[in-house]
Structure formats: structure tokens, C-alpha cells
Structure 1
């Protein structure tokens, strides 16, 4: 089941942060870069952010979270995080599929670490195409992706 989350609620923001940290630590290990901005988030910064959050629940437990900002008819995905114990169980796919059904959306964009092969492959498999790569510093390069929706 997918439900909207109120990230302004401190308890919910704390739960989001817990899943986010565990998920992004896996990415940090994959790309060998531990200074990722999501790892610097706090409960307060999550409460203050202007993203829309949805969670995938299994037996009343949050397994994954997606957040985005809507820019007219384009969704800018900010987070697609899955609790590591639910990796490779289709949680990210369910969340992405859900967001793609939002009425009036014509495209989606997102960014991930260029060395994050699982994420890059996930987006490519789901019809995203690479827009560009931007070198942030000698240790981190980000890949940006876009998907045009047919709905």
C-alpha cells in the first residue's frame, strides 16, 4: 500500500531520516563517497523541505519512500529510497510506477551518482535517458536522467 507522508510531522520525519540514512549509506559504499547531501539531512531539514513524500507500506511498516517536487508538468524526483532489508523486492518499482500515474505529468527527471550502477540501471530500465554527467569533485560525478511519459 502506498500512502502520502506528512514530512512536517516530527515523528514521520524521524522515520524518513532513519530509512534515508540506511539507504544512502549503501549508495555511499557503492560509489565510495560518504559526503552525500542526504546523509547530512536532519529531522528538521526534512520537515522544512518542500518535497511531497509517499511511502510504500508492507504490513504497516514503511519499506520505501519516494519524494519529489512538481514543476508544472514535470516531476523532479529527489529521493527514491528503500530500506536495505527490502532491496530487490520491487519496492522502488512500485513507488516509481505510482508517481508515474499522477495526472497531468508529462515527464520526470532525477539525478544519482554516476557510479551507482544499481540506480543507473534501474532508471535506464524504466525508460529514462541520460541527460548529462556533472563532475562535482574528483570523487563524485552525478548523472541526470529524464523520462517522457505517454499519459
Structure 2
């Protein structure tokens, strides 16, 4: 597996591949939470490339199999998205990607959110030391669990 940190705004081919990965990955979460209105499924290529944060991607040859996006502040890191190709699930890719962000975070707190009914994602975060800090509706009718990991 090869990890890289490309910028989707500078590479149209990569942006299309990343958007395809995002849609297929988040379609699984939509099935788990029984609602397809989650924001990553509504995003288009313009929105994806306009976001100015950090990316790490996982590749097997020329196939994009995973990605994680995060933003940084002075005291905290916010995980914005984590996605794995349905054909590459259960192989530790999400865990490896999350590990990349945790290394980058250094001593800062790391925050994340996932669908409240997304048991695999909640378990992934728990495995890496995250604790649930509350549930919230975003948008109305879609429940997420907010998680934090203190260094």
C-alpha cells in the first residue's frame, strides 16, 4: 500500500477518483444509518476541490482504496472524512489512515464525528482511543456521534 498526500484541487483526475471513492464509501454509511442525505453524498467535485484541508490517500497500484481528510487548528485536529472502498473493507486501511492523522496531530486533541448507527466506524475510533462526547442532529433527522481523543 502506498500513502500520498495529493491536492484534489490541483489534479482533476484525482478529484474524480476521490469523489467516486467518497460516494461509494458513504453510500455504505447511508445504508447503515438508513438515510442518504448525509453531506458527503451531496457534495460535488466543486465542493470537494474547494475544501482546503489536508488529505492522505491509500493506493494499491493505480487504485484509490482509501482516504482521510482533516483540518488543523492551534490546539486541535478535526477529522472531516474517512473513507475506504467497499472492495477493500476489513483490511485495516481505515485504521492505517487514522494512524497517519494521529501521528500528524502530535500532542493535540483530535475530534471526529460519524453516524450514530455506524457501529464499524464507532468501533474504529474507540480502538484508537476516541471517546463519544455526545450526539447531534446534522441535518435534522440524521444523528451523528461526536468523538474526541485527548493526547
Normalised TM-score (structure 2): 0.92
Gaps of 5+ in 1: none
Aligned to 2:5: 4
Which whole-Å CA distance do the structure 1 matches of 2:24 and 2:108 have between them? 32
Which whole-Å CA distance do the structure 1 matches of 2:100 and 2:43 have between them? 25
SS of the residue aligned with 2:65? strand
Aligned to 1:144: 146
SS of the residue aligned with 1:20? helix
Which whole-Å CA distance do the structure 1 matches of 2:104 and 2:140 have between them? 38
Aligned to 1:25: 27
Alignment of 1:89-104 (within 5 A): 89-102=91-104, 104=106
Output the aligned Cα RMSD: 1.5
Alignment of 1:1-151 (within 5 A): 1-8=2-9, 9-102=11-104, 104-136=106-138, 139-149=141-151
The question of whether the paired residues in 2 share the 8 Å contact of 1:129 and 1:146 is answered with yes
1:66-103 CA-to-partner distances (Å, cap 9, x unmatched) read 00101123210011100000011100011011111116
1:1-40 CA-to-partner distances (Å, cap 9, x unmatched) read 2110111022211111000000000000011011111001
Segment drifting more, 5-14 vs 85-94: 5-14
Which whole-Å CA distance do the structure 2 matches of 1:91 and 1:103 have between them? 19
SS of the residue aligned with 1:99? helix
Gaps of 5+ in 2: none
Which whole-Å CA distance do the structure 1 matches of 2:136 and 2:129 have between them? 21
Which whole-Å CA distance do the structure 1 matches of 2:14 and 2:62 have between them? 13
Once the two structures are TM-superposed, the CA of residue 136 in structure 1 deviates from its matched residue by 3.9
